[in-house]
Amino acid sequence: MNNKEKPFQRTKKPWPTKDAMEQVYAMNLWGGETSSYYSGNGSHDPEAVQPYVAALSSFLSAFEQPLTVCDLGCGDFNVGKQLVGYAEKYIAVDIVPDLIAHNKERFMNKNLEFRCLDIAVDELPDGDCAIVRQVLQHLSNAEVGAVVRKLYRYKYIILTEHIPEGDFTPNMDIISGQGIRIKKQSGLNLLHPPFNLKIKEEKQLVSVLSNDHKGKIVTTLYTVF
């Protein structure tokens, strides 16, 4: 059987994502001061963050009954901290234990909870809306597929991905780590094979040029049911 017939088969147990992400923060591979946790310019550049926060705060505040939000891959929480006030409950998840411990000490709110989970392996928290911001782009197709199957538990999925401008070949496979598919002139599209996410509605919320001028960062709202 070829790889296309087994798109989500693990090639290594466990997947190396946890080690790779721990290395990113330990060695400051995404920048920042050596003594700090830093999730990269995409989480700190005002030109990327401000339109994103504006769009999500508008969406979340439109509900008479606030939603329970699950931030799957919260990173250093520079973005998430600006959205907590719009949620009934905000569950922030990341794979790096030291990062989660750091966030727990730095960010405190009565409706905020941090959890250390591997979203490809562990059971995801219950909620109404999943935020997945520039997380899946770092994962292999096997891991992305494992996550996608779990996203159906949420009514809303807000997905942000760094993709090439213009036409590109979606969903080329990579090894999980700090890199993304744009180096292969590819990017994720969960509606295409091998993922084939089934949705009720799709709406683009934000699209901005990346700060390195290599492609664009697109945020899309999927209504699942």
Task: For residue range 130-170, list pLDDT tens digits in order.
Answer: 999 999 999 999 999 999 999 999 999 999 999 999 999 99
Domain containing residue 205: CATH number: 3.40.50.150
pLDDT at 138: 94
| Residue 13 pLDDT > 60 | no
Q: Is the peptide bond before 66 cis (omega within 30 degrees of 0)?
A: no
Range 97-100, long-range pairs (CB < 8 A, 24+ positions):
98/22, 98/25, 98/37, 99/25, 99/37, 99/75
Gap between the Cα atoms of 115 and 101, Å rounded: 9
Radius of gyration of the chain (CA): 17
More confident residue, 5 or 138: 138
Q: Residue 7's pLDDT is what? A: 41
> What percent of the chain stands above pLDDT 70?
92
Mean pLDDT of the chain: 90
Domain of residue 156, residue span: 3-223
Q: What is the per-residue pLDDT across 79-130, written as a single tens digit (0 to 9) for each?
A: 999 999 999 999 999 999 999 999 999 999 999 999 999 999 999 999 999 9
User: Residue 35 above 60 pLDDT?
Assistant: no
- Number of separate domains in the chain: 1
Eight-class DSSP state of 160: E
Half-sphere exposure of 66 (CA within 13 A, CB side): 16
- Nearest Cα to Cα of residue 215 among 177, 174, 151, 160: 160
- For residue 75, CA distances in Å to 78, 84, 133 come to 8, 14, 9
pLDDT score, position 213? 67
pLDDT, tens digit (0-9, with 9 covering 90-100), for 186-204: 999 999 999 999 999 999 9
Contact present, 221 and 59 (Cβ < 8 Å): yes
Phi, psi of 42, deg, nearest 5:
-65, -20
Could you tell me if 219 and 205 are in contact, meaning their C-beta atoms sit under 8 angstroms apart? yes
